[in-house]
Amino acid sequence: MMLWDLNKMKPIKTVQPHTAGVWTMKFLSDGKRVVSGSEDASIAVFDISGKSKKPLSLVTEHKDKVFSVDVSADENLMVSSGTESEIIFWDFKKMSVLRKCKGNAWLTYNAKFVEGTNYVATGASNGQLRLYNTISFNVSAESKALRTWTRGMGFNWSNDKYKNKIYMGYEDGIIREWNYDKEMNRFKLGHDEWHHLDAVRDIQVLPEYDLLISSSRNGGTKIWNADTYDYYYLLTHHVESV
């Protein structure tokens, strides 16, 4: 992994905590530590501010590739998922396992904390979205399964205008809006007419600007109006997957 100077757009440090490809990484709140997950089934935490290239922690509870790692805002919990049907909740400070939960498909492509809640959202290879409670570690709600994989994931959860929405990008090139009904404890499918020509790899939501930004395996990045669902703009500077 390379650390870049964004002003000069030059690499300033290289670290190699893993023995195979890195699938996911996340900066922690201090801007000095990064957590990463790899094809070698390991998760690493390392400090990018010092001279040492050795990780602060390295754990190997997964049996196969780690596709997703996320850390809660208070840095008490970590969640990870990968190719085996297992989602692992961790005590992040101790880097110890709290609970292993059986996933709903053989691959869980992403697992993310829903900020400001006690939930983790996951997306799997059967197209199903799930909410896990981070106190009980039980499944709180799930969407119906689809004949396509989930890929990118974005949230509009605490914003008053777009409350309790999760946007999932899928292998079939469609972004689907799921609305969480807390009283009924279930997801309802909302808008599903956002289209890319190939799999949707990533989604970012900017509720303060009414924007949703999505990127695709065909190299295109699209900007949408999250309120009216209108398509604004297409960026095509990449020649392959974004």
- Domain 2-145: give its CATH architecture: 7 Propeller (2.130)
Q: Which tokens in the block code for residue 60?
A: 């190997």
Contact between residue 136 and residue 166 where contact means Cβ atoms under 8 Å apart: no
Contact between residue 150 and residue 124 where contact means Cβ atoms under 8 Å apart: yes
Average pLDDT over residues 104-114: 88
In this model, does residue 242 exceed pLDDT 80? Answer: no
Contact between residue 200 and residue 214 where contact means Cβ atoms under 8 Å apart: yes
At 238 the pLDDT is 67
Question: Domain segments of the chain: what residues?
Answer: 2-145
pLDDT tens for 34-71 read: 999 999 999 999 888 877 778 889 999 998 999 999 99
Q: How many CA atoms lie within 13 A of 54 on its CB side?
A: 1
Which band of pLDDT confidence, cut at 50, 70 and 90, is reported for residue 239?
Answer: low
Alpha-carbon gap, residue 112 to 155, rounded angstroms: 10
pLDDT tens for 94-106 read: 999 999 998 878 8
Average pLDDT over residues 144-159: 84
Other Cβ atoms less than 10 A from the Cβ of 153: the count is 23
C-alpha R_g of the chain? 18
Average pLDDT over residues 60-84: 93
Report the predicted TM-score, pTM, of the whole model to 2 decimal places.
0.88
Q: Which residue has the higher pLDDT, 13 or 165?
A: 165
Alpha-carbon gap, residue 5 to 229, rounded angstroms: 36
Contact between residue 199 and residue 215 where contact means Cβ atoms under 8 Å apart: no
